[in-house]
Structure 1
Amino acid sequence: MNAGLFRKESIDAQRQRLYGDVVIVQPPKISALATLLFILVIAAILFAAFGTFARSEKVPGYLVPDSGLVRIVPTKDGYIQSINFALGDHVAAGDIIAVVDTGLSLASGRVIQDEALSAINARERLVRR
């Protein structure tokens, strides 16, 4: 009864089966990309956890004096180099609250605005002669 249930070829194929496990091998490019992606994700996580970065923002603001409001606006764009007062300190008229670095300087270290002003003054002196 069992002999007629399966074909003879099918039973022979089962007997001649390869021994061992089937292993699916991925192409090396996929393994390399997966490893690179893993390293990038770990680097991003480490940077987010331990890294620092410089942040600059434009912040218009208002100071509240004894009477009314005073808007303080720098004359040029730049980065705050130093702040001379803390929150709650008394500020008198003419005090320098913060120093703004415009970052515009020549390779010699001289400031571009100073160079331009001295050139304008020199031309003015030549014209007046």
Structure 2
Amino acid sequence: MMALFRKEAVEHQNDFIHGDILIPLPFGITFSAAITLILFLCIALFIYSGKYTRKAHLTGIVMPSSGLVKITPQYAGYITRLTASEG
């Protein structure tokens, strides 16, 4: 039966005399990749462990527990019309 690959090609594939090719990366790329990975992991941890505060819309009046509130305006002026009533 005929082989799929030539004998020389198979022998060349198994030849490790020269070793692997190593391409050194600059320090800046390695540092940037590490910082990006750490930032990504922190964001993922925050999303996973974060809690959502439940909100509800209510109607009514908010009254202070100590009684009335003194409100002072930011600028001096005159009252020309009173449209609010107490109560």
* TM-score with structure 1 setting the length: 0.30
- Give 1 or 2: higher strand fraction: 1
State the structure with bigger RCO (CA 8 A, min sep 6), 1 or 2. 1
* TM-score with structure 2 setting the length: 0.42
